[in-house]
Structure 1
Amino acid sequence: MTNILVVDDDWNILKLVSIHLTEQGFHVFNAKDGIEALHILKREVCHLAVVDVMMPFMDGYALTEAIRKQYNIPVILLTAKNQIEDKEQGYQAGTDDYLVKPFELKELSFRIKALLRRYDHQQDPSMIRIGKTTINKKSYEVQIGEKTILLPLKEFELLYFLMSKPMQVFSRDYLIEHIWGIDYEGDERTVDVHIKRLRERFSKLTDDFQIKTVRGVGYSLEAQRS
């Protein structure tokens, strides 16, 4: 199911948009400000964000910039303003589309579907890039600038999995099941060993990402904030 993040400090708008998008077949996460939205993005896989401009703590422009630095998802900005300067600021922040309040819910869903189609067409799921680091599942190579690195199979698959879902935390059991398979007879220390090897390989080569230990839970790949 496609997950949509809707961020607005107006509860009435959150409720209306959430009901409409749910009826359209989307799963909706609601946030009342930019800080809450970033917490949701760390926990959940979201495929598109609908972001209000005027919010407390972190406005929509700042949130859009933060999303653009960490996640490769489309953003639609909502605003009560229709000035060209406001639109310019929105596009400079990295928004993909712009909708002025009051808006028709049907138009919002049309724009969401159009952006999702465009992103699906542009993305190559076999290749992931974070900063200057690219991992290619077709060639099983990791490229950092001009340097090409070949990894043992399970190290590659583990790194690819974590890079494909940055900022999300995965337990050792979950990683065992997805990388080694449910029939694997080893224990979760296998994950620790492979994480250690990946850290040793890449800590001196790049600061594009770090694999963090989340105490009592598991591991998460953290992309560099530019």
Structure 2
Amino acid sequence: MSNLKILVVEDEEAIREMLVMVLEQANLTVIAVGSAEQARESLADNMVDLIILDWMLPGISGVELARRLKNEPGYKELPIILLTARGEEEDKIRGLEIGADDYVTKPFSPKELIARIKAVMRRSGKLSESGLLSVGDLTLDAEQHKLTIAGRSLEVSPTEFRLMQFFMTNPDKVYSRTHLLDQVWGRSVYIEERTVDVHIRRLRKILAEYGREELIQTVRGFGYRFSMAH
């Protein structure tokens, strides 16, 4: 799971620090903030794979932030685990009804939390049992930073690797250049949109050597799509 980035939103400093320690020990990259407003700022500047969100936050509550994020196209697919001291069944149901992907009740063991994260990431398609992403005979190994077609390694740059990782995690969906820049390069980095075209061309050239350049399709007027169907 070392390629995954987690956003922790928890207003109690001691719990926040404990969560950071537990997640970093599991080789996860962690961003930790104390409010919904700070979470919004972090999401504007960082691409994260999952949010661990405390139910009770000052100002905008965690459950309200989760509800809002799940109603926004850009964050609808972003997995959220709600963290709370509430154990009542109706609260758990309410959390899941607004779109949260799981629910962990305090106190919890570090092992339980990591197991829940792995389960949610597997369900979202961002983590397989073996840590591998496979689409047809194309396989991406995030741990080893390897991309292969039918067992043959492809020589790609770190940026092209991240681009393929994003495409393979989100197949058959059309993404604009702006969205790809946000997701692969990060919103805090200013790069021209044509940079996306340059990397797409390089990837297609590499895939063409294996007769697979059609995997990345241009959707005129919209952007690009990764698909095994042509």
What residue in structure 1 maps to residue 16 of structure 2? 14
What residue in structure 1 maps to residue 91 of structure 2? 86
What is the percent sequence identity of the aligned residues?
A: 29
**Structure 1 residue 117: deviation in Å?**
1.2
Q: Deviations over 1:181-212 (max 9, x none)?
A: 5xxxxxxxxxxxxxxxx9xx68xxxxxxxxxx
Q: Deviations over 1:97-122 (max 9, x none)?
A: 11111111110011001111111169
- Matched residue of 1:46: which SS? coil
What residue in structure 1 maps to residue 71 of structure 2? 69
The whole-number CA distance in structure 2 between the counterparts of 1:99 and 1:27 is: 20
Q: How many residues align structurally?
A: 159
Residue 158, structure 1, aligned to residue 177, structure 2: yes
Aligned-pair Cα RMSD in Å: 3.0
Summarize the alignment of residues 177-216 of structure 1 with structure 2, pairs less than 5 Å apart. Answer: 177-180=195-198
The whole-number CA distance in structure 2 between the counterparts of 1:165 and 1:65 is: 25
Conserved in 1, the CA contact under 8 Å of 2:46 and 2:188?
Answer: no
The whole-number CA distance in structure 2 between the counterparts of 1:172 and 1:121 is: 26
* Counterpart residue identity of residue 161, structure 1: L
* Counterpart residue identity of residue 60, structure 2: M
What residue in structure 2 maps to residue 127 of structure 1? 172
Conserved in 1, the CA contact under 8 Å of 2:47 and 2:186?
Answer: no
Residue 171, structure 1, aligned to residue 190, structure 2: yes
**Structure 1 residue 172: deviation in Å?**
3.6
What residue in structure 1 maps to residue 26 of structure 2? 24
**Structure 1 residue 180: deviation in Å?**
2.4
* Aligned equivalent of 2:46, options 44, 47, 65: 44
What residue in structure 2 maps to residue 102 of structure 1? 107
What residue in structure 2 maps to residue 140 of structure 1? none
Conserved in 1, the CA contact under 8 Å of 2:55 and 2:83?
Answer: yes
Gaps of 5+ in 1: 129-134, 136-155, 182-197, 203-226
What TM-score do you get using the length of structure 2 for normalisation? Answer: 0.60
The whole-number CA distance in structure 2 between the counterparts of 1:101 and 1:18 is: 16
The whole-number CA distance in structure 1 between the counterparts of 2:194 and 2:188 is: 14
**Structure 1 residue 77: deviation in Å?**
0.6
**Structure 1 residue 165: deviation in Å?**
6.3
After superposition, the Cα gap between the structure-2 partners of 1:170 and 1:179, relative to the gap in structure 1 and judged at 3 Å, is: farther
What TM-score do you get using the length of structure 1 for normalisation? Answer: 0.61
**Structure 1 residue 124: deviation in Å?**
5.1
* Counterpart residue identity of residue 118, structure 2: K
**Structure 1 residue 161: deviation in Å?**
2.3
The whole-number CA distance in structure 2 between the counterparts of 1:62 and 1:50 is: 14
Conserved in 1, the CA contact under 8 Å of 2:83 and 2:103?
Answer: yes
Q: Deviations over 1:142-174 (max 9, x none)?
A: xxxxxxxxxxxxxx873662585699355244x
- Matched residue of 1:28: which SS? strand
The whole-number CA distance in structure 1 between the counterparts of 2:188 and 2:180 is: 12
Conserved in 1, the CA contact under 8 Å of 2:82 and 2:103?
Answer: yes
The whole-number CA distance in structure 2 between the counterparts of 1:31 and 1:6 is: 6
After superposition, the Cα gap between the structure-2 partners of 1:29 and 1:21, relative to the gap in structure 1 and judged at 3 Å, is: same
* Counterpart residue identity of residue 95, structure 2: G
- Matched residue of 1:58: which SS? coil
What residue in structure 2 maps to residue 141 of structure 1? none
Gaps of 5+ in 2: 128-167, 200-219, 223-230
Conserved in 2, the CA contact under 8 Å of 1:157 and 1:179?
Answer: no
